[in-house]
């Protein structure tokens, strides 16, 4: 602590002791006003009488209590003087807006945020105003939708999550299409975000077209998605050189949903063994051989079991066997996108529904981008360095 700082501290202590009847807030206000008056005096001495003092104007500054600091800010006739001290104590509307938006992104409702701000600052911010502030997300999303992406991605994971939204005069659960890509530096990035009343291969095809023709994505080594009928056709139509892996977990779940309760435990064990191909020696041929053995065992109880393993389709569930063993568990399902989906579900849980599809997309976009900044881009996934075909 230098001598000037010590002198200032001693002076403030002496001033405070001499004004013991004042509250701390009154003391702070007096100190701030004095500093600003000194600043104005210094300013006027520098401008050589080209400007003059012109009294004071009252400003209210919100604090983390229900009270507001009432501060007289010195002004000049020309109105170009602005004391630096003012910036040190300012907790203005911009900061309140940022707080509201941050809480909104975390999943709090507009009404809850309004009540919280009023309790903290003694000032009301209407739920409608918070909703209007949230509309600023829209411009960010539009800018992102028109931005260029990398030309090459190692992997793209695709999935849909269903959320209630209002469309015209009715509410229903609609599909939010989400796709993220693994970049060459093994970080991850949001590639697509869209909404449609239902999930369909055609809608995914339009999203793929947009990625390629509008946003500059030329090549994706591997695309991982669920078992939606016809999706493989859209993948090969747009990204003809890409490999395609259908989600094994979705397949297992679909089969077990058609299985009698008394058989589910044994069926689950067999399905796990069927798709357990994580050693270097395991190949797609071995996987298809396991399929035949599985069908032979279960067709006695379930004569139509083979319909789950149609030729020309089942091969897509074993694409992961072509890759290095250390990467297979990361690409044989869409589970890696589920962590992101959980964040979205948590954030939208208290919202109940959204008044327009655009509002929903804007909100989900900001939730994803915040997650992306703190996780996807901050922490590269080390095992993606093993992403290479070996079979």
24-46 and 3-18 helices, crossing angle to 10° = 130
Quick one: average pLDDT of 37-44? 86
Bridge partners of residue 70, in order along the sequence: 60
Contact call for residues 252 and 264 (beta carbons, < 8 A): no
275-316 pLDDT per residue, tens: 999 999 999 999 999 999 999 999 999 999 999 999 999 999
Contact call for residues 333 and 108 (beta carbons, < 8 A): no
SS3 62: strand
Per-position DSSP letters for 366-388, written without gaps between them: HHHHHHIIIIITTS--GGGGG--
47-74 pLDDT per residue, tens: 888 888 888 888 776 655 555 678 888 8
Q: Read off the pTM.
A: 0.72
Residue 308 confidence (pLDDT) = 94
Closest CA to 210 of 165, 154, 161, 144: 144
- H helices of 122-200, in order, are 127-134, 136-145
At 128, is the pLDDT very low, low, confident or very high (cuts 50, 70, 90)? low
> Quick check: 24 pLDDT over 80?
no
Q: Token pair for residue 384?
A: 């993606």
* Enclosing H/E stretch for 69: strand 68-76
């Amino acid at each position: 602590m230098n001598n000037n700082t010590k002198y200032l501290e001693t002076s403030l202590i002496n001033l405070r002791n001499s004004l013991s009847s004042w509250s701390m807030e009154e003391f702070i206000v007096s100190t701030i006003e004095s500093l600003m008056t000194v600043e104005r005096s210094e300013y006027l001495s520098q401008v050589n009488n080209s400007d003059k003092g012109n009294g004071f104007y009252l400003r209210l500054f919100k604090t983390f209590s229900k009270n507001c600091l009432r501060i007289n800010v010195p002004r000049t006739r020309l109105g170009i003087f602005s004391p630096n001290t003012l910036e040190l104590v300012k907790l203005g509307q911009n900061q309140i807006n940022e707080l509201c938006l941050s809480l909104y992104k975390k999943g709090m409702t507009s009404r809850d945020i309004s009540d919280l701000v009023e309790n903290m600052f003694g000032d009301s911010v209407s739920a409608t105003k918070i909703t209007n502030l949230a509309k600023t997300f829209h411009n960010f999303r539009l800018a992102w939708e028109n931005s260029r992406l990398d030309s090459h991605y190692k992997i793209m994971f695709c999935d849909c999550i269903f959320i209630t939204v209002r469309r015209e005069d009715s509410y229903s659960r609609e599909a939010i299409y989400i796709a993220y890509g693994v970049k060459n530096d093994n970080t991850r990035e949001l590639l697509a975000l869209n909404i449609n009343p239902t999930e369909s291969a055609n809608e995914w095809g339009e999203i793929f077209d947009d990625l390629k023709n509008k946003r500059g994505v030329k090549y994706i080594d591997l695309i991982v998605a669920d078992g939606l009928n016809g999706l493989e056709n859209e993948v090969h139509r747009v990204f003809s050189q890409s490999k395609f892996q259908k989600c094994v977990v979705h397949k297992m779940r679909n089969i077990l949903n058609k299985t009698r309760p008394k058989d589910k435990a044994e069926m689950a064990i067999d399905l796990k063994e069927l798709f357990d191909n994580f050693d270097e020696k395991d190949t797609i041929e071995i996987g298809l051989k396991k399929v035949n053995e599985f069908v032979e065992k279960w067709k006695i109880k379930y004569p139509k079991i083979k319909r789950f393993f149609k030729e020309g389709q089942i091969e897509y569930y074993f694409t992961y066997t072509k890759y290095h063993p250390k990467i297979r568990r990361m690409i044989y399902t869409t589970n890696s996108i589920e962590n992101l989906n959980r964040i979205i579900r948590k954030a939208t849980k208290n919202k109940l529904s959204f008044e327009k599809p655009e509002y929903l997309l804007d909100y989900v976009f900001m939730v994803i981008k915040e997650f992306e900044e703190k996780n996807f881009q901050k922490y590269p996934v080390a095992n993606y360095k093993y992403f290479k075909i070996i079979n």
